[in-house]
Structure 1
Amino acid sequence: MKNVGIPRRLDELGRIVIPIDVRRALSLNERDTVMFFLDEKSRTVILKKEFPSCICCHAADSLRQLPHGIYVCESCLAQLS
């Protein structure tokens, strides 16, 4: 695991700013979804960029975006119709 060595403080609402170097390395843009993974034993949090996938079968190709940021692949959309 790479140590970027950029300390940040939590604000009063528990938020933290992700440094620009980290956002660039992960190709994070405004409004992207990220997942947090917690390893309680090592007290480590892992941040991962979430890529869109079908809400039904989790496929990542041939996606159509529905309202509220929901994605459905063409195959599942055809079955729902």
Structure 2
Amino acid sequence: MKSIGVVRKVDELGRVVLPIELRRVFNIEIKDPLEIFVENDKIILQKYNPGKACAITGEITPENKTFGNGELTLSPRGIEMLLQELSDYQLQR
């Protein structure tokens, strides 16, 4: 994980301000929904995109990858399942 050298305080309502530079880089506009993930001792924010669900497992994870010119989204577990199914198919031929 890369530090950008910015520290922000949490206000009394639990809010944290994202620097404008980050919002520009990640194309986060006012009222855009963000997903919140927890991984061990880390809090991860990601711009919400419901189209990023794995086509096989339905999982939405920060590790999901898009393939086939943006037509197919797979989670790491979905990739493993698809590879196994393709391997089994090749063996049956």
TM-score (norm 1): 0.57
Aligned residues between the structures? 55
Identity %: 38
SS in structure 1 opposite 2:43? strand
Distance 1:49 1:32 in 2: 7
Provide the residue aligned with 2:33 in structure 1: 33
Provide the residue aligned with 1:22 in structure 2: 22
SS in structure 2 opposite 1:22? helix
Greater fraction of residues in strand: 1
Distance 1:3 1:51 in 2: 24
Moved over 4 A (4+): none
Ranges in structure 1 where 5+ consecutive residues have no aligned partner? 62-81
Greater fraction of residues in helix: 2
In the TM superposition, residue 52 of structure 1 has moved relative to its aligned partner by 4.7
Ranges in structure 2 where 5+ consecutive residues have no aligned partner? 52-57, 59-70, 72-93
Distance 1:2 1:10 in 2: 20
Distance 2:50 2:44 in 1: 19
- Computed over aligned residues only, the root mean square deviation of the Cα atoms, in angstroms, reads 2.3
Distance 1:15 1:33 in 2: 14
Describe the superposition over 1:16-59 as per-residue Cα deviations: whole angstroms up to 9, x where unpaired. 101111111111001111101111x2x11111111254xxxx8x
Give the structure with higher Rg (CA): 2
Matched, 1:48 2:50: no
Supply the AA of the counterpart residue of 1:32: D
